[in-house]
Amino acid sequence: MNAAAAGPADAASDPGPGRDTTRPLPTVRAARAVFDLSLDAMVWSRRSLMMALLLALPVVLAIVYRAVLGRLPPRVAAFDFYGNIVTYYYLRFALPVTALFYATALVADEVDGKTLTYLITRPVRRSAILIGKFAAYVATTFALALPAIVVSFFLLATAGGWSGIGARVGDLFRDLGVMALALVAYGALFTLVGVLLRRPVIPGLLFVFVWELLANLPGYMPRLTLTAWLQSLIRHRPPQEGVTAIFGQVLPAALSLQVLTAATLLFLAASLWIFSRREYVIEE
């Protein structure tokens, strides 16, 4: 019995104009389609509302700071308060949690929701699916986080008036760049964790709240964390850091950029490789 070769479709199935049915869709085109499919679900959801509140909380803090400024003498200046928010709130807490929240769910949500079957039975490379979903993650988190940082900056940097704001705007752009890099780097890491593990949340939390504390230690240990490299890129040094004031390291900025970029690419490449080869047995 002869096996039928995968040649041009017979008259019963029309391939449609300009469509090559002998190859999968080009990666960029496929990723774009997955991006569009995923972005809607990511942005317009209750969980994004929760994350938006979490990321916008510093705006409330900034308003509170300005509101009580005349009545209570603060221990830190307004711009230093902004620095505390960037370092303690965003870099060490909110952005890693946001990345954990979204990036571990890129594949896990489709598996749990049993919709992965629809995606992997399309003529697209699996890597294109993950690239499209990661792009949607980046777009969503940037849209949620960066505007909140900008608003916090302007609320606090202008607490004493608008003079001198020009000198500070450079810090804002730097902070935005670092926050964006943090979202991408943590996102790539947690995408890998989400692809590797069936239950990625607890290992992710342990990484963020236990492993990343190594950034506070002396010696070579901080280099094994993302926090240390990211912190080295921002200029804010919160005045009272306790043990961090003794042990905290500032690594070279250029090296930090290179390491973070390399780590991001490595995590993403590993994720793509694993996702392309893994079988997903959807329980019925």
Give 165 or 197: the residue with its C-beta nearer to another protein: 197
Distance CA 31, CA 276 (A): 14
Whether 268 and 190 have beta carbons less than 8 Å apart is answered as no
- Residue selected from 115, 169, 262, 269 as contacting another protein according to rule CB under 8 A: 115
Span of 176-184, 197-205, 229-237, 251-259 interacting with another protein by CB under 8 A: 197-205
CA distances from 132 to 3, 31, 38, 53, 104 (A): 35, 4, 8, 26, 15
Whether 175 and 157 have beta carbons less than 8 Å apart is answered as no
DSSP, residue by residue, 85-134: IIIIIIIIIIHHHHHHHHHTHHHHHHHHTT-HHHHHTSSS-HHHHHHHHH
Residue 252 C-beta: closest distance to another protein, Å:
28
Q: Is 235 in the site for another protein (CB under 8 A)?
A: no
Give 104 or 256: the residue with its C-beta nearer to another protein: 104
Give 75 or 161: the residue with its C-beta nearer to another protein: 75
Span of 113-121, 142-150, 211-219, 260-268 interacting with another protein by CB under 8 A: 113-121
Q: Is 10 in the site for another protein (CB under 8 A)?
A: yes
Q: Is 42 in the site for another protein (CB under 8 A)?
A: no
> 248 phi and psi, to 5 degrees?
-60, 135
Residue 39 C-beta: closest distance to another protein, Å:
11
Q: Is 118 in the site for another protein (CB under 8 A)?
A: yes
Span of 5-13, 176-184, 225-233, 261-269 interacting with another protein by CB under 8 A: 5-13
Closest to 223 (Cα-Cα) out of 249, 243, 245: 249
- Residue selected from 67, 113, 258, 262 as contacting another protein according to rule CB under 8 A: 113
Whether 103 and 226 have beta carbons less than 8 Å apart is answered as no
Q: Is 278 in the site for another protein (CB under 8 A)?
A: no
Give 28 or 265: the residue with its C-beta nearer to another protein: 28
41-51 burial, b at 16+ Cβ within 10 Å, e below that, comes to: ebeeeeebeeb
Please report, as residue ranges, which positions from 46 to 85 form the binding site for another protein (by CB under 8 A).
46-47, 50, 54, 57, 61, 64-65, 68, 72, 74-76, 81, 84-85
Whether 157 and 79 have beta carbons less than 8 Å apart is answered as yes
Q: Is 210 in the site for another protein (CB under 8 A)?
A: no
Q: Is 15 in the site for another protein (CB under 8 A)?
A: yes
Q: Is 202 in the site for another protein (CB under 8 A)?
A: yes
